[in-house]
Amino acid sequence: MAGRPDRRTVALVGGVVVVVAAVIVVLVLRSGGSDDAGRPTPSTTTTTTTVAPVLAPLTGAPGDPAALDRCVVTVKIDNTQAARPQSGLDVADVVYEEVVEGGITRLAAMFNGRAPDRVGPVRSVRKTDQSLVRPVGGVFAYSGGAPYAVASIATAPVVRLDETAAGDLMLRDGARQAPHNLYARVDAMYGRCGPKVPPPPLFAYRPRGVTPTRGVPVTSAVVGFRSGFAVTWTWDPGRRAFARSIFGAPDSVESGTPITPRNVVVMWARYTGGTASGFGAEAELTGTGRLLVLTGGRRIEGSWTRPDPDRPARLLDANGSEILLSRGQTWVELPEDSYPVTTQP
């Protein structure tokens, strides 16, 4: 008789969906299920295994299966000209750009889907950082900080690794001058994981291959950070990503790889203390605020809302519908409420 499917089993193994189709085929020969010598004919079993790709929680893109068994490592990174070129920003899942004293900016880069062995230069913590890491937990790596900033990050559900606590998980590069020579070994820091493994997603994503239809086409956008730290994002159709420029030149990491995230999310925020550039200022990221999303070559305006500091913000368009991002790296800009953002259609 002809073979037919017998059963279908679906199992979740280490966060990977494995579909096993078992097909039993019975061969019936001239002598009714036996060979010419009268011996029973064995049945034949064919097994086909299809493994779905692992989607990294913070990018929604295929990634290392180990991402589902480890936490987030967030590293504070210097963003001055003296710190350039930086390392690791091209393989971070999410990067936040925040305003600190003097109007300059610092970066907080989150890693889960990749495991680089050199990220930096590592710099000090700020009060805004506890709000960034509260939804994802994990490890927070920094060089130190003012007492009020260290007290602030101590309220977040993270394992804190400053240079002293990190030990050989951080290193000083003798070829560069301090304080721009401290680097984090993110691959080794996963061994010190704190809570929330794996981390929850921070954004919602479109299905692969789907082009956004909301908003309007955009070729470039300038985020007007002060003190010479304005950033330009230019749409690159070939990469389906936005290329970053700062200090009048394209931005790239130590290896020469350009920084080209798939999404740029601009969340305007009010900074406590009356000005973002004051000492001890902190971006208020609980509540709601203005929003601009760059994704898929389009600009979508709306608002962000975050009533619970332990949960991520939701990104909503002008109609109140959730904005879906491209799968891949996202940069989140946190300008002060009064900072301008200009775009070119």
The CATH class of the 216-344 domain is: alpha beta
pLDDT at 32 over 80: no
Block residue for tokens 């985020």: 223
Please tell me the predicted confidence (pLDDT) of residue 27: 29
Alpha helices in 144-263 (DSSP H): 147-153, 163-166, 186-189
Q: Which of 20-24, 221-225, 266-270 has the lowest mean pLDDT?
A: 20-24
Task: State whether CATH 3.90.79.10 applies to domain 65-192.
Answer: no
Q: 209: left (phi > 0), else alpha (psi -120 to 50), else beta?
A: left
- Band of pLDDT at residue 52, cut at 50, 70 and 90: confident
- Band of pLDDT at residue 47, cut at 50, 70 and 90: low
Residue with the larger pLDDT of the pair 102 and 299: 299
* Mean pLDDT, residues 272-280 taken together: 73
- Band of pLDDT at residue 327, cut at 50, 70 and 90: very high
Per-residue pLDDT of 217-250, as tens digits, reads: 999 999 999 999 999 999 999 999 999 999 999 9
- Pick from 57, 55, 97, 53: nearest CA to 78: 97
Q: Which residues pair with 250 in a beta bridge?
A: 245
pLDDT at 55 over 80: yes
Please tell me the predicted confidence (pLDDT) of residue 39: 53
Q: Which of 43-47, 234-238, 314-318 has the lowest mean pLDDT?
A: 43-47
Give the chain's mean pLDDT.
88
* Mean pLDDT, residues 136-157 taken together: 97
Q: What is the DSSP track for 129-174?
A: HHHHHTTT-SEEE-S---HHHHHHHTTSSSEEE-HHHHGGGEEE-T
Please tell me the predicted confidence (pLDDT) of residue 58: 97
By CB neighbour count within 10 A (0-12 exposed, 13-18 middle, 19+ buried), where does 325 fall? buried
Q: Which of 141-145, 163-167, 206-210, 294-298 has the lowest mean pLDDT?
A: 206-210
* Mean pLDDT, residues 69-77 taken together: 97
Please tell me the predicted confidence (pLDDT) of residue 41: 55
pTM for the predicted model, two decimal places: 0.85
Asked whether the domain spanning 216-344 has the same topology as the one spanning 65-192, the reply is yes
- Band of pLDDT at residue 106, cut at 50, 70 and 90: very high
- 237 to 60, 218, 326, 340, 345: CA distances (angstroms): 20, 11, 13, 25, 14
Please tell me the predicted confidence (pLDDT) of residue 275: 65
- Pick from 50, 42, 44, 37: nearest CA to 8: 50
Per-residue pLDDT of 282-297, as tens digits, reads: 999 999 999 999 999 9
Domain edges within the chain: 4-51, 65-192, 216-344
- As a whole number of angstroms, the distance between CA 131 and CA 2 comes to 63
Please tell me the predicted confidence (pLDDT) of residue 10: 30
Please tell me the predicted confidence (pLDDT) of residue 29: 32
Q: State which H helix or E strand residue 270 sits in.
A: strand 270-271
Please tell me the predicted confidence (pLDDT) of residue 274: 60
Residue 345: CB atoms within 10 A of its CB come to 8
Q: Answer for the pair 297, 235: CB distance below 8 angstroms, yes or no.
A: yes
- Pick from 187, 157, 160: nearest CA to 171: 187
First-to-last alpha carbon distance for the chain, in angstroms, is 66
Tokens of 266: 């601009």
pLDDT at 21 over 80: no
* Mean pLDDT, residues 23-40 taken together: 41
